[in-house]
Amino acid sequence: MDKPVYVHRVRYNFSISKLVFWSLIFLGLIVLFFFRSPSSISSSRRVLQSGPDWEKLVRKSASTRSPSRGVRVLVTGAAGFVGTHVSIALKRRGDGVVGIDNFNKYYDASLKRARQDLLKESGVFVVEGDINNAVLMGKLFELVRFTHVMHLAAQAGVRYAMENPSSYVHSNIAGLVNVFEVCKSANPQPAIVWASSSSVYGLNRKVPFSEKDRTDQPASLYAATKKAGEEIAHTYNHIYGLSITGLRFFTVYGPWGRPDMAYFFFTKDILKGKTIPIFEGPKHSSVARDFTYIDDIVKGCLGALDTAGKSTGTGGKKKGSAQLRVFNLGNTSPVPVSKLVNILEKLLKVKAKKVKLPMPTNGDVLFTHANISLAKRELGYKPTTDLQTGLKKFVSWYMDYYSLPRGKSAR
């Protein structure tokens, strides 16, 4: 028997509304996925890495306040801890600054994104890319006649080198070589200031560590890649006339710091009531570091940049000898890790749960202590912040950044 027409119509209408219903659900899911996925969050911040708008951003960021001074700096690792502070300091005094950073996930990338926001507020544009990308690096030099490169991009961390050795080779060796390659071919060649590390002193026992001391006993792959970097710097200076200054940083700490470093994760764990491991040397001796506050390091970096001689080559050809320097940037007052924890306990007003453990044999050294007389003489470097004062500033930033109640900490 034929069904009445209205039955067909009802069925037809029903399947249309079903189709519309499911389409809307499907669309909703797509929208939800794009709004919530972290990659969409970062891509919304990301600017296309080519085209006139991007070039305009690069050129604007590189423009100097006073054209007569004309200092234009490419800062690699600009969204890193030291990179952010140095970029802001350069921009604040009127220099042109362009940043580059690959925003890798070695530690919480949202902290790097927050630093990027801070840089943007200061007028510093950060190009998203890897220093190993020769085309991108070359493009930046086509757009801007950089006078200096502040090369701070690196795979940091002493102990992580056991977990991911190739990341150290990629950033600290291949990446460094690529930076030098691009600089040697640039016309004019920029002067380069780059981050080496106190870890190059390795098993050196002579204190305080002087630039003249031996650095051929690295205790970690990280240290070995930094030491290799210093030798590679010698080669590029020798063959191409690049002016190169290496800075040996001593355990830099402060606001906007690195969450993988002890002072940072101790703070987090003390507040959470988690037990913190304090490493000890043989016979329960204390392990100590020459902790150096970020503002002092920034002054050292700017001092190195301002006193850097010009590179002498052009377009890959050496014209004469150029400056090759290396400096310790430390605080000259080593503090035992147990004392660092005591200071944090007082500032946080929380008693830490501690466990003393023998220092693991994965690259750590027992102590560091910088002799800074060379940097004092040549760069005018003079650290002024002791650990108590610097940690107070760090804790204050930490409580604000993570929106923690103020009651628990001392400002």
Ligand X SMILES: O=C(O)[C@H]1O[C@H](OP(=O)(O)OP(=O)(O)OC[C@H]2O[C@@H](n3ccc(=O)[nH]c3=O)[C@H](O)[C@@H]2O)[C@H](O)[C@@H](O)[C@@H]1O
Contact set with ligand X (CB under 6 A): 156-158, 197-199, 249-251, 261-262, 277-279, 287, 289, 337, 359, 364
Catalytic residue among 107, 160, 222, 236: 222
Strands, sheet with 191-197, edge to edge from the N-terminal-most edge strand: 125-128, 96-101, 72-76, 148-151, 191-197, 244-249, 324-329
Nearest to 273 by CA among 360, 340, 348: 348
Shortest approach of ligand X to residue 102 CB, angstroms?
17
Closer CB to ligand X, 116 or 172, in the complex: 172
Closer CB to ligand X, 277 or 316, in the complex: 277
Shortest approach of ligand X to residue 359 CB, angstroms?
6
Helix (H, G, I), strand (E, B) or coil at 209: strand
Shortest approach of ligand X to residue 263 CB, angstroms?
6
Closer CB to ligand X, 156 or 347, in the complex: 156
Shortest approach of ligand X to residue 158 CB, angstroms?
4
Residue 338 burial (10 A CB sphere; 0-12, 13-18, 19+): middle
Closer CB to ligand X, 199 or 267, in the complex: 199
Instruction: For residue 168, indicate whether it is catalytic.
Output: no
Q: How many CB atoms lie within 10 A of CB 221?
A: 21
Six token digits for residue 251: 């355990």
DSSP 197: E
Six token digits for residue 95: 């220099």
Shortest approach of ligand X to residue 127 CB, angstroms?
23
| Catalytic residue positions, numbered | 222
